[in-house]
Amino acid sequence: MRGPGTLVAVLPFVTAACSFGESGTHIVSRTIQADEVRLLTTSSNFVAVRDVILVDGSIWVLDAAPPFVARVALGDGEAHHFGTEGEGPGEFLDPWAIQPTLNPDNSGVLVWDLGAGRVSEFDGSGTFLESARLSDRGRIRARSDIRNISYADPFRVRNNGLSFLASQFPVRIDRTEDLIRGSLSRVDRLLEPGSELALFSDHNAGETPGQKEWSPVPFWDACDGVVVLWSPRSGELLWLDSDGTIRVRVPVEIPTVPISLEDIETYLRWMGRLELGPGYEDSGIDFTSLALGYRSQFADQRPVATDLRCESREVAWMRMFDTSVDPLGRGADWLKVSTDTGIESFSFPPEFSPAVFTGQAIYGLLEVSDGHQALARWCEGPVE
């Protein structure tokens, strides 16, 4: 086991957390009970899910471990698993994103493997069709463990009907604040960048480069031909058209709350566990004093959001920061923001992580007793 001094090496990669407070805007709140979230009828369990999509009545799940890809039918729960580890055609090293192909007659999917630098196409049954090397300009380079040390996801890819959308970065992503240097662009299947829709620096809440840790960053998602962008600078959700023009602005008036020493200590303990293993508490590190010593390296105020998911052309969901649920700030509270009906707050059970939002149901991953993840859903009406 390495000594306590090694913890200092991971401190530059700290991220964000917060709790959800009162707002000047009236927000209706609802708490979802654990027994309202139901497991889907399937025997599939997962290790560490990286992406989930809903296509033609099936949930496609991209996992971090073999067999990597699963297609689960919503009706009978029948599951098809495929994808082996390796560097050959149809194999994966470090897959991060999955989307349906642009061909409307093809029920297959594309899987982007950032480790191998390749995109692979599979048909609806999981049969490998072809693969190609990613564009050198479009390839996203980041720490392999970025999701263990940051709430942000630089690897998001979306099929927006006529093209794909992805973030582009001129630097390697080593910590959350590196995302500020990127942009949202239209890309082809090789992630070769095309027209630019938004510069993230235009939505940066900070005044100067070199932000402190836990500074807010923009998030985006796309569905039904629209793009939704969270702008920390303006405190608004922005709906963009096909060329990046802002068409709708919805203020999200959530007052910020100061980052506490408890927030910082929670995160440092998480980093200690990653660095030192399960016995980190016996390492002799005084995490309380460490948090006090590193307070100046953190932002003054907690960010508002940790994720953004698009439900439809008029509705998006924002995940709120909360270190009491997750040391990286991926909280259990979500805001449902509509372009015309206002904002609602939903508090989900902490063991449920929503991933796909539809008007009928919310699909996500539920932590099960053996430490694995299983598909589950919540909906307003009776669950079949």
CATH architecture of the domain with range 4-378: 6 Propeller (2.120)
| pLDDT score for 166 | 97
> Would you list the domain boundaries of the chain?
4-378
| pLDDT score for 238 | 97
Q: What are the tens digits of pLDDT across the range 192-234?
A: 999 999 999 999 886 554 567 788 899 999 999 999 999 999 9
| pLDDT score for 8 | 37
Q: What are the tens digits of pLDDT across the range 288-326?
A: 999 999 998 888 889 999 999 999 999 999 999 999 999
Phi and psi, residue 58, nearest 5°: -130, 145
SS3 content of the chain, % helix, strand, coil (to 5): 15, 40, 45
**Residues 218-250 as b or e (16 or more Cβ within 10 Å = b):** bbbbbbeebbbbbbbeebbbbbbeeebeeebeb
Opening angle at CA 192, ends 189 and 197, nearest 5: 100
**Run means of pLDDT, 10 residues per run, the chain, 384 residues:** 36 34 65 96 90 94 95 91 91 95 83 94 93 93 88 92 93 89 96 96 73 84 95 96 92 90 94 91 93 90 93 96 92 96 94 96 92 91 52
| pLDDT score for 14 | 36
| pLDDT score for 17 | 30
| pLDDT score for 306 | 93
| pLDDT score for 3 | 34
Q: Give yes or no for a contact between 140 and 132, defined as CB atoms under 8 angstroms apart.
A: no
Compute the distance between CA of residue 81 and CA of residue 306 in angstroms, rounded to an integer.
30
Query: What are the C-alpha distances in Å from 38 to residues 31, 57, 104, 374?
Result: 15, 18, 32, 10
Compute the distance between CA of residue 310 and CA of residue 229 in angstroms, rounded to an integer.
10
Query: In the chain, what is the straight-line distance between the N-terminal and C-terminal CA atoms, in Å?
Result: 49
Which token pair is 308?
């953004």
Query: What are the C-alpha distances in Å from 181 to residues 16, 154, 239, 240, 244?
Result: 18, 11, 21, 20, 18
Alpha-helical (H) ranges within the chain are 146-149, 261-276, 287-293
Task: Supply the DSSP symbol for 75.
Answer: T
| pLDDT score for 4 | 33
| pLDDT score for 207 | 52
Q: Note the pTM of the prediction, 2 decimals.
A: 0.90
